[in-house]
Structure formats: structure tokens, C-alpha cells
Structure 1
Amino acid sequence: MGDAVSSTVMKSIKLFPLITVLAATSFAFVGVAPTAIAASDATRQEAVVATRSFPKTNAVKKNILAESTSTQVESGSDWGGVESLNVPQTKSQAEKDQEAADKKAQEEEQARAQAQAQSQAANRSESRTALNTGSGTASSTTSIPAPPATATGQALAQYALQFQGYPYVAGGNQPSGWDCSGFVQWVFSQFGVSLPHYSGAQMSVGSPVGSIADAAPGDIIVNSHHAAIYIGNGMVINALDPAQGTQVTSLAVFTSSYVIRRVL
């Protein structure tokens, strides 16, 4: 019995140093492990800081949420052809109705003008027929009024007034048909005065009159486009055109400047 106890004690004594060594090693490991882990975490944090750091900026942005109001567009910018987009235009029913009414009114006006022109042409044809057949106002040489014996400007103006309504014919200088300067030429010829036919040449006949205030009946009012006989009070008798024939009008018939020439 005593030998068994002694043997057990001896084994315990032999194991004690081994247990002591193992315990010391465990405590050393427990102390070192947190330190190693802490060192590893510190290294990892330094690595993260190094990879996620950004350069410092000195630019300060003010009111970055404010809406931009700039409308400047760089030259040569291509916006996909939006600036040349062809947007179809539409019209309201009122606009369409107005266009239709305007078109109808225009067509009616053209029809009236055409009818008037045809009527005037018929009247001129009748006048020429009367002249050629010996009937009517200016039917023949014998029916043309004789000029007065006194050759004055006033007498000439009164004589010219008797030819109102006579026909206009371009280039003509007879009662059967005359143009503006042909009418002036023919009337003066009845008083023994020979004048050139065309208005540009008539601008230099006789003597000049300074202004319309000084003009007298029988004076010639003329420019390079038109000629007329003054009858007083700002009025003239003249051959106008095929539609109007020979008529009394105001000086407004001259659309540009004119000269006044006194022959009688």
C-alpha cells in the first residue's frame, strides 16, 4: 500500500514541471494573440486610410443648388437638328372661313373689273364705228367743232373742253383717236400752231411759266410721260388711256414733277 502511494507521488512530481511549462506557454499565447490581432487591425486601418484618402481641394462652391440661368450656346453645337424642326402649322376654323370669304370677294372683284373692261371696250368700239361711219359726236371732219376766230389761251381751253369723251389711241393725233400729246398737238393745230407730237419734245415749246399760281388757261402742263391743257383752277383736260379716253382731271394726274409752257 505504501509503495503504491509513493509511486503515485513520484509520477506527480515528474509531471509538475511539464504542466508548469504548458501553463506558461498558454498564458504567453493568450497575451501575444490580442497584441498580434491589434497590430494587424492597425495595419489594415492604415491601408484603408491610404487607399480612400482624397486630395484636398481649395475650390469653394457657393449655392450649388441654384438653377443655372446661362443661355450661352457654343458655336457649332449639334443639338440633333431640333433648331430646324419643321412643325406643321394648323389653322382654326375661323381662319379657314375668313380665307374662303376673302377668296370669294377677290373673285367677285375680278369679275366686276373684267365686266367693266369689256363694257368700256364695247363703248370705245361703238365710238370708233361712229367716227368711221359718219355718225356720232365726232363722226367726220364736218362734225368737228370749228375753232373760234380769236386765238387766245382762254379760247383754246374752251375749245379743248368740247372733246371730252373722245377715244384714246396710242400714237394717235386725230379726233378718231389720240394719245395725250397727240391731243395737245391737234388742238393747237386748229389755232395755227404747229407742235411736236411727243410730250418730251413739248417740254421746250413756247415760254416757261414759273409756277401753277402763274398758269393761265391754254397753257401746256407737261413732263416726259404726260401732256395736258390747263383750263384753270388746278384742272386740266387730257387724253388718259384706252379705258378713260379724254377727260377733265386735276393736276394729281401728274405723278411726278412737270413744267408749264405758254404758247398763246
Structure 2
Amino acid sequence: MTSALAGQLAAAPISWGVCEAENWGCQLPPERVLQDMKDLGISATEFGPTGFLPVEPKPRAEMLRRYGLTAIGGFFPSVLHQDGNDPLPAIERELAAFEAAGATVLVLSADSGAASYDEKQEMTAQQWKTFGRNLDEAVRRAADRGITAVLHPHVGTMVESAAAVDQLLNSTAANICLDTGHLLIGGTNPLDLVRRFAARVGHAHLKDVKADLAGRVGRGELGFTDGVKAGMFVPLGQGDCGIAELVAGLQAVDYAGWYVMEQDVILTAAPEGQGPLRSIRESRDFLLGL
């Protein structure tokens, strides 16, 4: 890889259909996914959902090293908004595992507690207070370990809509995971967010989506899972997120974080031949050509 982005480029198991949501489809084994990453020349990856890689930090790190991959951290759903529920012990355990594995980015989502991402959620004023208090404390505890904790606006979580994203940025000190696809589906223009809040982008998940399907999901006309099955996510540069402009906007402010390629897919069976690898290679080539 010779592009200026090569040193910031990473992958995530969701591009191979590996997901924490129930009934998501065929879950490929880590050996297949990690070998594909290695074959692509990718040198860093997120962990994927709990249980995809070994749970214990040392075996987890050793498995990634066997494939020449650096652990950068990953996605961790957490119920942050409910009074009487303390999310911090579980976050502390995850932070300890991240620290032991050398990972540096904890990507929190404002989990609703539901089993899927197909329901729309929103918080009351009191829940926002609880959420903000827990989130800011999680960010502080992560920083004490040298780990960056960011909040990931995500379809089907408590922070999905444009109004919720604005409230997150205006009422907490947390930085954001710029997930271009989930932001667009939720009604936030990701390019506008970069223009207004580039300094608050602590991590980037690069997704591209078809705007027509994203709009239907955003309006509740189509469930998120059905949108994925219908091909809502496409290789980078082939959708409507303006990926080239987004990357240029971040590079212009010397963004030094990771660009994680993510193209959510649902597999009905273990693929023969290249499977998801073909689309991910197209995304990689697009980024390296910028």
C-alpha cells in the first residue's frame, strides 16, 4: 500500500457478516475472516463481537498476531441511560481486556437493551442526564488507561436521530465515532457533521449506503435488518455518503485516527469463493486511490 491513508486503514468483522445482533445470519469463523484481512494487506482490525475472538486478552492478541494484525479495539454496546443499572463494571472489564491486548479505541454504543436494531428509540430528559453522566465517566476511565472511548450513533440505539446526535455533542464531552452509514440513516448529514465538529471525531467507520434504502429505514418503512438484506450497504465510493469528501474533510484537519472499512452484510451460508472479500477489496482500492 502506498496511499497516505494506508497507515490509518483498518477492517472490521462486520464486513464479513460477523455481528452481535441476534439472527443476523451465518457467522464466519475468525480464521476465515482474519486470513482474508491478511490477504488484503490490512494490518489492523477491530475485535468484532464478544466471542468472535478468544475472550481472554492474551489468546486474543496472540490470534491477531498470527495473522499480522494489530488490535485497535472495537464496538461495545452498553446500556448507559437506565437509572439503577451501572454499566461501568462491564466497561471496566472490557477496558482491562483492551489494555492487555494493546487496543486503543473503545467504541461504545448507547444500547437500548433490545435484541435487535429494528426499533426506533429515544431518551427522556432524565435518561439523557443518566446517559451523559455514565458516558463521561466511561470516557474518563478509558483515558486513565490510555484508551480513547467514543460514542457510536447507531440505528436502533438510544442515539440514532439527528436531534440525538446534536444533543450528544452539545451535552457531553465525549468524542464521536463517525459512522457515515448509520449517521445518514438516522438523518444526520455526515459531511455537515465533519464541517461542524471535526475536532470531535475520535474514530471513523467508513460505510457507504444507497440513499433510497437508507431513507426508508430512517423513516421506519423498512427494518434495519431488511435494509441490509436488500443491499443498503455498498462498497465505498458506490453509494451516497460522499466518502471522498468526508475523508478529505478529516485529512484537512489532520485527523490521525483510524479509518475502519465497514460494509454490513448478512450471509445466509458460508460463501464459496471470495465471498465478502470482493466488495471489501473494492472499498480498499477506492480509499487507496484517493
Structure 2 length normalisation: TM-score? 0.21
- State the structure with more CA Rg: 1
Q: Which gives a bigger RCO, structure 1 or 2 (Cα 8 Å, sep 6+)? A: 2
TM-score, normalization by structure 1: 0.22
Structure with the higher fraction of residues in helix conformation: 1
